[in-house]
Amino acid sequence: MAKVAVLGGGSWGIALSVLLHKNGHEITIWSALEKEIEMLSTEHEHKMLPGVKLAEDMIFTTDEAEAVKDKDMLVMAVASSYTRETAKRFKEFVAPGQIIVNVAKGIEEDTVMTLTEIIEQEIPQATVAVLSGPSHAEEVGRGVPTTIVVGAKKKSTAEYIRSLFMNEVFRVYISPDVLGIELGGSLKNVVALAAGIADGLGYGDNTKAALITRGITEIGRLGMAMGGRYETFSGLTGIGDLIVTCASMHSRNRRAGILIGQGKSMEEAMSEVKMVVEGVYSAKAAMQLAKKYNVQLPIIEQVNLVLFEGKPAAEAVKDLMLRDKKIEVSDAPWEEE
């Protein structure tokens, strides 16, 4: 049995708390929100995960020192926009070498840093890893089978984290490509916004398949330019996570995109979804990275124009379709004429 603290009382943190507790570990759940901790400790259920019960022996706290002390692993499960703030709160309490597993997905807009990079910067004494893949909280909380990836710099760290999470419904692979895993998990949210917008416009399965296929091409193009591995983007945290996020109504990014495609503004869509829409925060950062690494991201570029410059969604789709003619496999040889 390990002692684990889950930092963040949202639906994803709660789903992982339930999973880890079923694996026999001692669970402490921390939240900065007193009302959230009160709800969890009294109702033993999160309102976003109805029917997913929290065990009576779980510990709930708003105290940072209590949450972190003597824990074998910390799970950073706050929304990406709160990662730096939360890391700062915990810096003085984290012991040298203590493992922090980031499970959120996003890129910080101002610095274009990944979330593990932020945690490493704010808590340099920690051993930081990432967990990502096709894993909606609504299904993980109910024990629906899925497969994810743990990324860490050292194999021993990844293997230890895998030993805590893995069971018969939660299969865990390991990888050293921390950067690739984080980029895949972050950028797929932007493409999912595009897929949702297409749904909101009333387009069909062909359109979505095209967006998914060309979307992973964009993600891989930027990711490999930054040093990520091709296998990562063709794997669970690339195409796997992209498919589920573009296709599922559990996806807050797809739901927000549908509303935008139906004519709502970005602000109206985010308000109606009532959850953090990570793709909105990653969209601008993606374009900054594209400029830095001289990479073309036509789908993500159009998403930015729709989100932040008021471009009509139907016009954005038209411009994507009428782009300069391209070759899909650029280095394949042709027969001589």
φ/ψ region of 226 (left if φ > 0, alpha if ψ in -120 to 50, else beta) reads: alpha
Closest CA to 67 of 7, 110, 117, 107: 7
Count how many residues are written for the chain.
337
Query: Tokens representing 93?
Result: 């309490």
The percent helix, strand, coil of the chain (3-state, each to 5) is 55, 15, 35
Query: Tokens representing 83?
Result: 């990662």
Q: Which helix (H) or strand (E) holds 4?
A: strand 3-7
Long-range pairs, 226-233, Cβ under 8 A, ≥24: 226/179, 226/183, 226/289, 226/293, 227/179, 227/180, 228/177, 228/179, 228/180, 228/183, 228/184, 229/177, 229/180, 231/177, 232/175, 232/177, 232/180, 232/181, 232/184, 233/180, 233/184
Amino acid of residue 330: S
Residues annotated as catalytic (active site), given as ranges: 188
